[in-house]
Structure formats: C-alpha cells, structure tokens
Amino acid sequence: MSIVYFLFNQTLLFAIPLMIVALGAMFSERGGVVNLALEGIMVIGAFSGIFFMNWAQTNQVLSGMPLLFTSMAIAAIAGLLFSMLHAFAAINLAADQTISGTALNILGAGLAIFIAKTVQDGAQNISFTNEFRIESIPGLGSIPVLGDLLFKNCYITTFLGFLLLAFSWYLLMKTKFGLHLRSCGENPQAADAAGISVYKTRYAGVALSGILAGVGGLIYIIPISTEFTGTVAGYGFLALAVMIFGNYSPLRIGGAAFFFGFTKTISFAYSSIPFIAKLSLPDTFYKLIPYVATLILLAFTSKNSSAPRADGIPYDKSRR
C-alpha cells in the first residue's frame, strides 16, 4: 500500500496547481477571451511569491502559514495585474488573442529573469526554505487509509485547491455573475441587449484567470523545489489542454487535472516505482509521457470553444 500512498500524494502535488490554473483559463474562456498567457502569468505569480518569501525568510519577517498565505496573496495580485495587459489588448484593442498571449508569455519569463538578476547581482535563481509541509494533521492523520492518503505529508494548498474547485463550480453555475459570464461568451449580442456590460464581464473573467494562474504558479513551485528558476515547465500550456479535455466544466476539469497529474507523477518519480524502474527505459521516454498523453487525448476529445472571440463583435460599446 505504501506505493499507492506515494503515487496519490505525488499526484496531488502536480494535479492541484494544474487544476487551479485550468479553472482560471475556464473563467476567461467562458467569458469569450482565450487566455494563452497562462504560462507567463504563472511565471510572474511564482516569481513574485517566491521573491517575497525569500525576502521574508532572509529578514525573519514572517514564517509558517502566515508567510505562505501572504506569498499567495502577492502571487494573486501579480497575476491579476499581468493578466490585465492581455485583457486590454484582447478586449479594448481587439488584438489577436494568440499574439497577445504569446507576447505575454515571452515577456513574463524575460521580466522575471531580468528582475531577479538585477536585484541579486546576476543570480537568476531565487531560493527559499520549504517550511510548509505538514507531517500529519492532528486527529485526521490517524484515520485509516484516508489519513495516509490526504492528511499526512501534505500541504494546505491541496485543500485550498479542493475549495477553489467547489467555489468555481458554484460561481459559474449558480450565481448571477456566472450566468452573465457564460452569456457574454456564448452570445454577447444578446447579453448586451439584456443590459449586461460585456466589456466589464469579460474583464472580470480575465481577472479571475490571472488571480488563479498567479496562485497556481506559486503552488506549483513550492512542493517540488526550493528555488525558482524562471520557468514553470510548460504548466500553463498543459492547463489549457486540461481545460479543453475537461470541456470547460469545473468538475470535469478537476478530473482531467488528476489524470494529467498522474502522468506527470509517472514521469517525475518513475525511479521510485519498482515495476516501472525495472523496465530500464530511457529517461526521456518517461518525461514525454504527460505531453504525449496530452496530444493523444486532445486529438480525440478537443472541440472548438463555444465562446466567441472578443474582437470584431458588434455589440454596443457604450455599455463598457
């Protein structure tokens, strides 16, 4: 059973940030804006949160959970601000969303590395001390089976991810804002005729996307490393695949994230799985598994988004 616990715990570490970022992509997409800038937003969020974490730990300002939550708040704000560049280009300037997203991906990675090298006298990597892993949650960790799966050697961000999944489902499917967001993506002319501000609603969708992607970038780095190197290993693009595979639905996105998280676990920790390690295949083979799985699944399951592009839509601009 120990190998099962290990695989499940590792899958959570990879699946939770992937799910959070994919949920962010969903909000933007359902509002009518394709956010290809997720990779850059994740990098900016991770950089901002880790940079603050490094400063706070060096100067002994904060520690433990207060430090983690403060860093997540900073990552969320950084992601929000950076995503507004994409929102302005796609919504106000009617720019091509693919070009805008690609440009911000390049800008995000370059900006993070430039600032890190400038502030740290040429050093690109930003280190931190991982003091956030919970050995065992009192009471819950002693529950048979479930305690070992969820409440030992865990991170509070895992439970935050589950809360965000439930919140995203409720916000999108059960609130007036969610109805407005979906209507602006599916039929902006009708939404405008009903008195809904299409511009403001789409800005809100992109803003949620930026907040979640920024937090997801930080959550991705913390469990797997002790330094930020200026990259999130293509997780922003993988989150887009998860969103499409999940058919733009919160609960399906959650399931898709866990599938891709499992493939990532296999590629990352294959040497710790006895029957896989005995195969003696090249390292490259295992590292390709998540991306090959992405291509295969998208080839059979991808659909064009029902949300129209934000540019070229003849709705009343007076209701911005």
Indicate the pLDDT class of residue 311, thresholds 50, 70 and 90. very low
Lowest mean pLDDT among 134-138, 157-161, 163-167, 286-290: 286-290
Indicate the pLDDT class of residue 313, thresholds 50, 70 and 90. very low
Average pLDDT, the chain: 87
Asked if residue 15 lies in contact with residue 258, where contact means CB atoms within 8 angstroms, the answer is yes
User: What integer pLDDT is reported at residue 43 of this predicted model?
Assistant: 95
Q: How far is CA 142 from CA 69, 104, 137, 171, in A?
A: 26, 46, 8, 34
- Region 235-263: mean pLDDT is 90
Q: What is the CATH number of domain 2-304?
A: 1.10.3470
- Region 282-297: mean pLDDT is 80
- Give CA 155 to chain center in angstroms: 16
Indicate the pLDDT class of residue 303, thresholds 50, 70 and 90. low
DSSP secondary structure, 197-242, as one string: -HHHHHHHHHHHHHHHHHHHHHHHHHHH-SEE-S--TTHHHHHHHH
Domain map (residue ranges) of the chain: 2-304
pLDDT top residue among 36 and 283: 36
User: What integer pLDDT is reported at residue 320 of this predicted model?
Assistant: 52
- Region 274-296: mean pLDDT is 78
- Region 245-263: mean pLDDT is 90
| Cα gap 111→68, rounded to integer Å | 23
pLDDT greater than 60 at residue 317? no
Indicate the pLDDT class of residue 1, thresholds 50, 70 and 90. low
User: What integer pLDDT is reported at residue 45 of this predicted model?
Assistant: 96
Indicate the pLDDT class of residue 5, thresholds 50, 70 and 90. confident
Q: pLDDT digits over 186-245, tens only?
A: 999 999 988 899 999 999 999 999 999 999 999 999 988 888 988 898 889 989 989 988
Q: By three-state DSSP, how is residue 153 classified?
A: strand
| Cα gap 251→56, rounded to integer Å | 36
- Torsion over CA of 15, 17, 18 and 23, rounded to 10 degrees? 120
Asked if residue 115 lies in contact with residue 44, where contact means CB atoms within 8 angstroms, the answer is no
